Amino acid sequence: MPSPTYLFPAGAAGLAAALLLASPAAPCSVLEIGADGAVLVRAADRVRAAATGATAAMPAAWRPQLERIAARHALSPALVEALVWQESRWNTGALSPKGAIGLAQLMPDTARELGVDPHDPLDNLEGGARYLRQQMDRFGDLPSALAAYNAGPARVAAAGGVPDIAETRDYVNAVLGRITASAAAPGTTPTHSTHSTHPATSINPQKGILHVP
């Protein structure tokens, strides 16, 4: 059975920004995002970060907690950071119209199932990472796990992958785009996890193709 390939529209939020990271002189760079969110540049050409919100910094005070929680759940800090950025822009008091709470935008019932207090920022971050790890373990690839975080695991299971929901596809693009942008930012050395058993996601910045082997 051939490996699934995810094609996202060039104008979709997040990935479109990531596509702009490739300079005209370096059109062939391919970025491989490991299942834990770590990034490896798989070509000799350089990729530069554009001046975009995709690379705006997270609050520095959260870095130690982020790294500790990400490591606890075998996730890349860049992945957890990108998810939280997309969910709340690191606003600890964020509250969605649907009732999602805090940094990782946990619904009260989900937080209860995870055993965390959604109103406590550190607990909220822990809950978001724990829930993402659960989706990774269930679906086995990063795009599907992110889609499950956004749209719910039932929709991903029914679709057999990222569902054809514009909001969800844009969400996956945005998170992966931020990971890519952060990895390509000046002074950042992209990394790749060697211990993950899940498939990696490759991004060709020229074509906007995400491929899960």
- Which residues partner with 171 through β-bridges? none
Residue 90 has pLDDT above 60, yes or no: yes
Residue 82 has pLDDT above 50, yes or no: yes
Torsion of CA 10, 14, 15, 16, to 10 degrees: 40
Instruction: Give the best-scoring range by mean pLDDT among 10-19, 36-45, 189-198.
Output: 36-45
87 assigned to active site: yes
**Which residues 6+ apart lie within 8 Å of 59 measured at CB?**
90
* From 87, 113, 126, 167, the catalytic residue: 87
DSSP state of 52: S
Percent of the chain with pLDDT over 90: 56
pLDDT (tens digit per residue) in 150-199: 999 999 999 999 999 999 999 999 999 999 887 766 555 444 443 444 55
Question: What CATH number does the domain located at 5-211 have?
Answer: 1.10.530.10
Comparing 43 with 23, the larger pLDDT belongs to: 43
For residues 33-40, average pLDDT: 56
> Around Cβ 154, how many Cβ atoms within 10 Å?
10
d(CA 204, CA 95): 35
Q: What are the extents of the domains in the chain? A: 5-211
pLDDT at 34: 59
Comparing 41 with 16, the larger pLDDT belongs to: 41
